[in-house]
């Protein structure tokens, strides 16, 4: 298993409307897409920097993962997503190496990509996502 690049960085924000202007007016990026991922109880906004996306995440429910994160830690970096050739295989390989997983098999994330999370207790405090077309 070897990630090809950082696919995206997920950032939890209180409000997309309030945070998008920073990325557009200060950093000069352009928000190119919005998507609601019901499964994750989030609304997302995307920017791209080189090969890497910035994924802003606004919670649609206090019970969702981002809602809980915001309550506990406030706004900030939520996860880092590594691009993998084959998400299912990469998850399996991590598990075989003794890494605790959140997702044993891939599920559908934003932009129709397969995604799967490793457990932050197994990754020294960083929530790591694998992300890819397969
Ligand atoms: Zn993500």
pLDDT by residue (tens digit) across 56-111? Answer: 999 999 889 999 999 999 999 999 999 999 999 999 999 999 999 999 999 988 88
Q: What is the pLDDT of residue 37?
A: 86
Give the distance (Å) from ligand 1 centre to CA of residue 89: 18
d(CA 103, CA 78): 17
Cα–Cα distance, 88 to 106 (Å, whole number): 6
Q: Look at residue 62 in the predicted model and tell me its pLDDT.
A: 87
Higher pLDDT, 68 or 120: 68
Number of alpha helices (DSSP H) and beta strands (DSSP E) in the chain: 3, 8
Say if residue 125's pLDDT is above 90: no
Residue 38 backbone phi and psi in degrees, to 5: -60, -40
Report how far ligand 1's centroid is from the alpha carbon of 107 (Å): 12
Give the chain's domain count.
2
Instruction: Indicate the pTM of the whole model.
Output: 0.91
**Residue 70 shares a structural domain with residue 94:** no
3 domain-assigned: no
Both 41 and 73 in one domain: the answer is: yes
Span from the CA of 8 to the centroid of ligand 1 (angstroms): 6
Provide the domain limits for residue 114: 79-134
């Amino acid at each position: 298993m070897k990630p090809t690049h950082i696919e995206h960085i997920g950032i939890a924000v209180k409000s997309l409307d309030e945070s998008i202007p920073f990325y557009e007016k200060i950093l000069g990026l352009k928000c190119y897409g919005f998507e609601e991922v019901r499964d994750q109880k989030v609304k997302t906004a995307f920017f791209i920097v080189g090969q890497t996306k910035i994924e802003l995440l606004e919670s649609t429910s206090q019970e969702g993962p981002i809602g809980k994160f915001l309550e506990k830690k406030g706004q900030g970096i939520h996860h880092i997503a590594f691009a993998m050739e084959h998400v299912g295989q990469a998850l399996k390989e991590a598990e075989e190496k003794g890494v605790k997983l959140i997702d044993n098999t891939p599920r559908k994330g934003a932009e129709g990509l397969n995604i799967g999370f490793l457990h932050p207790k197994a990754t020294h405090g960083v929530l790591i996502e694998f992300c890819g077309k397969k």
